[in-house]
Amino acid sequence: MEDILEVYKRPYDPRRPVVCLDETSKQLIGEVAKPVPAAPGQVAQYDYEYVRNGVANLFMISEPLAGQRDVEVTERRTKKDWAECVRKIADEMYPDAERIVLVEDNLNTHTPASLYEAFAPAQAKRLADRFEFHYTPKHGSWLDMAEIELGILGRQCLSRRIDNIDDLRRETKAWEATRNTAKTKVNWQFTTEGARIKLKRLYPSIEE
């Protein structure tokens, strides 16, 4: 935990970008009856019935110090999906970085071992060597700034019915482009000193 807070204090360096990764799910909901659009003096109307069209997964890749983010929508959230997301970070988003500092929660799929399940050994090792992994503590996943971005995405873009994965991809990419153009950053104010007070129970205690 303290390690992650110190990571966030590092000055911006494109050779060693600090990247946060998190994921969430979105239920794909279809309409039974055609919605009635808003009109003067009348709000939009939606039928309470709906159709479930499955669930999609969203990976949030966020570089908070640069005000950039990328949303990857996948059909599943497996070890191989995580590994492909990591490959994209290394090879497509930051191909020239000397080392990528990756902050994520300690889900069992978030380990270099998942790379070896998805890729040949040489490829998996090449990717693992590109990263410096930092994990949030148990019950402290909110220390991953990507979780903040997911919350904003949910409020600004996903708080409505979307019935298919293609529309979900289009909507999230439009949201992503708007925030990236504005270079919107996270105003992170949580400090190590604050953590020692608020999260005292997560720190080890030493008795004489």
Residue 30's beta-bridge partner residues?
51
Least confident interval from 32-36, 60-64, 167-171: 32-36
Span 49-75, average pLDDT:
93
Would you state the pLDDT for residue 193? 65
Place of tokens 């020239």: 96
Residue ranges of the domains in the chain? Answer: 2-30+49-202
Identify the band that residue 52 occupies on the pLDDT scale cut at 50, 70 and 90: confident
pLDDT in tens, 76-130: 999 999 999 999 999 999 999 999 999 999 888 999 999 999 999 999 999 999 9
pLDDT (0 to 100) of residue 206:
55
Give dist(CA 6, CA 191) in Å, integer: 9
* The predicted structure's pLDDT at residue 142: 83
Do 84 and 73 contact (CB within 8 A), yes or no?
no
For the 2-30+49-202 domain, the top CATH level (class) is alpha beta
DSSP three-state, residue 51: strand
Q: What is the pLDDT, as a whole number, of residue 57?
A: 97
pLDDT at 191: 67
